[in-house]
Amino acid sequence: MTLLLAGDLGGTKTLLALYRSEGDRLDCITKERYASAEWSGLGPMLQHFLKDHHPGNGQVDGGCIAVAGPVQHGKAHITNLHWSLEQSELAAECDIGALELVNDFAVLVYGLPHLTANQQVVLQEGEADPTGPIAILGAGTGLGMARGIRSSGQLIALPSEGGHREFAPRNADEILMLGWMRKELGLERLSIERVVSGTGLGLIFLWLLHCGGLEDINDLTQSALAWRQQPPGTPGRPDLPAMVAKRCGEGGVLSSRAVQLWLGAYGSAAGDLALQELSSGGLWVGGGTAVKHLERLKSDAFLEPMRSKGRFRNFISGLPVNALVDLDAGLFSAACRARMLAECD
């Protein structure tokens, strides 16, 4: 039996878990949630967790901590916590055989090949090349992207800032929307995640209001104006993206139009990523919106723009595309990476 530590560290909360690996099985033994700001650093938190759940039982074989932010040379800095992390120091402090810090979106790559049917939902059937590259993107607060390649039988996760690429409008509506968003946000260029994110859905709705759409007048319009005027983090600020999605489900015409435009841009970005990485091993859609918009991701509003890539339409149409719906996918993926590290140690 191999004992593994997995963690998902965020500015607000941190999840820690112990997993047991036997053969191909990977089982969660215990899991705890901590308020990150209540701790002076990750080291004391890990030591407290292991003291409670693994007291005096020897070394943990491998560990992986997913962190919200970039990781360079085994080091990471969590800005809003003022924590500086170094994986070698954490491994020594906590008696872990091999420990690695990984970006919290890139870590998902390590879990993708091991997902069960309960952890993902098929968006498009296809045949995966078991030796080919894989890729994942996910809209939430921003637009995360990552890819994985195989070398000498090992999967290597490569982080990406692809969500900050330039947004490329595909039609007249998107051209007009691009111009309005640049002016609204005071930007010379517009990145993809300004459109394909939770905030992006809110901005698309505001643009439609600007264009004279009044179908969803009254409460939603007032909330949209308040959302526009109040900076993020303002107490009581309306959750406009969630309100637009809800009104879309109730048949609101303007909200439905906003969601359709958002899905089109999202699908196009997914297809572009698959082309860029030639992800013959599969493409996944994750992030905070995958579960919330699951049925919409199954629709042609998302899938057709994804496939509409000219001479490469057949390539995209033949890829397996899945939505990652496991809310603990970050922990699971960190455990998968920890198992790899333990096996190589």
- Considering the domain architecture, whether residues 295 and 332 belong to the same structural domain is answered as no
Under the banding of pLDDT at 50, 70 and 90, the label for residue 24 is: confident
pLDDT digits (tens, 9 = 90+) for 121-178: 999 999 999 999 999 999 998 999 999 999 988 999 999 999 999 999 999 999 999 9
- Give the CATH number for residue 172: 3.40.367.20
Under the banding of pLDDT at 50, 70 and 90, the label for residue 214 is: low
pLDDT digits (tens, 9 = 90+) for 242-291: 999 999 999 999 999 999 999 999 999 999 999 999 999 999 999 888 99
139 lies in some domain: no
Distance CA 158, CA 250 (A): 40
152 lies in some domain: no
Which residue type is seen at 255? S
- Considering the domain architecture, whether residues 240 and 334 belong to the same structural domain is answered as no
The encoded tokens of residue 242 equal 């969630």
- Considering the domain architecture, whether residues 289 and 340 belong to the same structural domain is answered as no
Residue 251 belongs to domain spanning: 163-324
Res 215 pLDDT > 60: no
C-alpha 150: how far from chain center: 21
Region of residue 116 (left: phi > 0; alpha: psi -120 to 50; beta: else): beta
Under the banding of pLDDT at 50, 70 and 90, the label for residue 213 is: low
Q: Side by side, which strands form the sheet with 13-22?
A: 25-35, 13-22, 2-9, 62-67, 99-103
Q: What is residue 23's predicted lDDT score, i.e. its pLDDT?
A: 87
pLDDT digits (tens, 9 = 90+) for 72-131: 999 999 988 999 999 999 999 999 999 999 999 999 999 999 999 999 999 999 999 999
Per the structure, how many domains does the chain have?
2
100 lies in some domain: yes
Helix (H, G, I), strand (E, B) or coil at 43: helix
Contacts for 203 with CB less than 8 Å, ≥ 6 apart: 181, 184, 185, 194, 195
155 lies in some domain: no
Q: Phi and psi at residue 8, in whole multiples of 5°?
A: -130, 100
- Considering the domain architecture, whether residues 229 and 296 belong to the same structural domain is answered as yes
121 lies in some domain: no
Distance CA 336, CA 138 (A): 20
- Considering the domain architecture, whether residues 287 and 339 belong to the same structural domain is answered as no
Cα 167–Cα 169–Cα 172 angle in degrees, nearest 5: 155
119 lies in some domain: no
150 lies in some domain: no
Q: What is residue 219's predicted lDDT score, i.e. its pLDDT?
A: 83
- Considering the domain architecture, whether residues 96 and 216 belong to the same structural domain is answered as no
- Considering the domain architecture, whether residues 50 and 167 belong to the same structural domain is answered as no
Residue in this structure with the two tokens 């397996």, named with its chain if needed: 320
Are the C-beta atoms of residues 28 and 19 closer than 8 Å to each other? yes
- Considering the domain architecture, whether residues 266 and 168 belong to the same structural domain is answered as yes
Taking Cα atoms as reference points, which of 170, 115, 127 lies closest to residue 315?
127
- Considering the domain architecture, whether residues 207 and 303 belong to the same structural domain is answered as yes
Taking Cα atoms as reference points, which of 23, 30, 83, 77 lies closest to residue 57?
30
- Considering the domain architecture, whether residues 174 and 306 belong to the same structural domain is answered as yes
- Considering the domain architecture, whether residues 230 and 83 belong to the same structural domain is answered as no
Percent of the chain with pLDDT strictly greater than 70: 98
118 lies in some domain: no
CA 186 vs CA 99, 142, 180, 181: distances in Å? 43, 18, 10, 8
- Considering the domain architecture, whether residues 73 and 178 belong to the same structural domain is answered as no
- Give the CATH number for residue 62: 3.30.420.40
Distance CA 138, CA 307 (A): 17
